[in-house]
Amino acid sequence: MRLITVLALSTILTACGGGNTTTTDTPTVDSAPVVNAGMDQSVIEGANVTLTATASDADGDAINYTWTQTSSGTVTITGATNTSTLSFTAPEVATDTTYDFTVTVTANNVTASDDVSVTVMDETAVADALAEYEVLFADASLAKPLEIASCEIGGAATNCLSIEINSYPSFTVGPFCPRTTTDTTENAGIWIKDGSGTVSEVDGTFITNLSTFYNDPNWQMFDPNTNEVFYTDTTAQCQLAANPDPSAELENFCVECTVSHLDEIQADGAITTTYLIPINPVNAATANANSSFGVSFSGVTFDRSAPLSIIESNYNIAPFDDCGGHINPNVGYHFHAVTNESDCHGEVETSAGHAAQIGLALDGYPIYDRLNGTTEPTGLDNCNGVESLAEGYGSEIGYHYHVNPGGENQILPCLTGEIEGDAGGPPGGPPGGG
């Protein structure tokens, strides 16, 4: 009986872990290294190209690199293929040609790979493109000649057209604000009431009727005894009006900055703006509505929407001239609307019946006037872009934009392509940066 009890107890203890146990070591798994081959590049034939990979290994193992060309075509490697960098001279090409490379890293016999591409651009084609741009911008007010410059578009190194514009164009700018309530449209510009979608002539009668126009008796922008309009006539007032916070001192003022004001401000240094526009546009994953839109062939920025509600909150208007532009003391003259006035944009006539090309978008696609003759364009996407309309116009146009009507306070809804860096800058124009 005692023997049976002992055996039973022994069985229970063993079942509950009370007996001898065996421990098995779990094998350590080596982590795979992480590698990045760097950004894609576009270069001109004959350029020196360097690809630089970065890699890390969580286990701290030594990392070995191996580069392999995976595309057809031959490039002459000028350095080793077993380091983090690979160098070669871009070969001569008849047309733009892409060369693909893979870098493989090994750490303690565990590997990882990443790919990178280099597009070699035909030097003659690039030179031809520059020559075409020089013709299009022939009448522009440029701070220096057009040139091809390195840039980054959509995370890839490439080549862009570099455009540096002056603070105001060569054509006559203004007028903006009338001086008296008897001034006609010849002596004043235009205005867009926030949300109205319509353009109003800012003559003396318009100033007189502002309280009715806005349905607010606090609008009083003229002296009823002299009929003189209150406007920003000094450089100091021009600069104060450009402050993002409306100034009570300028309440019920017609806000304008003139070329004379700009010249005084630029006595200490010229105000210029430089844009880098890709020669080969790259479609973006998401449309961009937060930048300036482009540059006219007259050398003027097609700017983003003016902050009309901020301007009007201080009982101000900041008229555009008949070309749809006005002056900000920090960035110069710029467009917020495209009007029917001629000689504003450096229009380039195209095939019969199609709208004139008026500029270049910051993503590299061309910008055209609103109407094809007297007809609204059809098939526009959400950015006012449309693919080639070769049929009916006798030539290949390709993807391009058509501007909005002038009363929209939005030259384009957005851009479909990638743009270089932060091409927006501050919204230009007084007050509140509009």
Q: DSSP readout, 228-258?
A: BBPB--SHHHHHHHTSSS--GGGTT-B----
Contact at 8 Å (CB) between 210 and 319?
Answer: no
| Predicted pLDDT at 433 | 47
- Residues in contact with 198: Cβ distance below 8 Å, sequence separation at least 6, in sequence order: 192, 407
Average pLDDT (101-127) is 93
Sort 371 into a burial class: Cβ within 10 Å, 0-12 / 13-18 / 19+.
middle
Contact at 8 Å (CB) between 152 and 178?
Answer: no
Q: Percent of the chain scored above 90 by pLDDT?
A: 66
Confidence of residue 89 (pLDDT cuts 50, 70, 90): very high
Structurally, at CATH architecture level, domain 34-121 sits in Sandwich (2.60)
**Of the ranges 145-154, 197-206, 423-432, which one carries the lowest mean pLDDT score?**
423-432
Task: Bin 286: left if φ > 0, else alpha if -120 < ψ < 50, else beta.
Answer: beta
Q: Hey, which residues does 51 pair with through a beta bridge?
A: 86
DSSP 34: E
Contact at 8 Å (CB) between 103 and 86?
Answer: yes
- Using CA atoms, how far apart are residues 281 and 158, in angstroms rounded to an integer? 10
- Using CA atoms, how far apart are residues 41 and 347, in angstroms rounded to an integer? 34
User: In terms of pLDDT, which residue wins out, 426 or 23?
Assistant: 23
Contact at 8 Å (CB) between 318 and 200?
Answer: no
The amino acid present at 66, given as its one-letter code, is: T
- Per residue in 258-310, pLDDT (tens digit) is 999 999 999 988 999 999 999 989 999 899 988 899 999 999 999 999 999 99
- Residues in contact with 133: Cβ distance below 8 Å, sequence separation at least 6, in sequence order: 146, 161, 360
- Residues in contact with 156: Cβ distance below 8 Å, sequence separation at least 6, in sequence order: 39, 40, 41, 42, 282
- Per residue in 171-196, pLDDT (tens digit) is 999 999 999 999 999 999 999 988 78
Indicate yes or no: pTM above 0.85.
no
| Predicted pLDDT at 20 | 55
- Average pLDDT over the chain, rounded to an integer: 87
